[in-house]
Amino acid sequence: MPHPAPDRAEVAVVGAGPAGLAAAVTAADAGLDVLLIDAADAPGGQYYRAPAPGLGA
């Protein structure tokens, strides 16, 4: 279920893959209000969705 957007954010990060999560954490650690946006229901990006040859995934 989609979550309502906050009234304001100082930084919007599009994509909750590894790079987007790192950017969001870095901005939050700097004291900024962060809005993290992703099309998927769970974070991880293609890291969890892409097949991994040799790993049976």
Residue boundaries of the structural domains of the chain: 11-42
For tokens 């279920």, the residue is: 1
The greatest distance separating any two alpha carbons of the chain, rounded to the nearest whole angstrom, comes to 45
Residue 11 and residue 35 in contact, taking contact as beta carbons nearer than 8 Å = yes
pLDDT tens digits along 3-43: 666 677 899 999 999 999 999 999 999 999 999 999 988 88
pLDDT of residue 10: 92
pLDDT of residue 29: 97
Q: Cβ of 47: how many Cβ atoms within 10 Å? A: 13
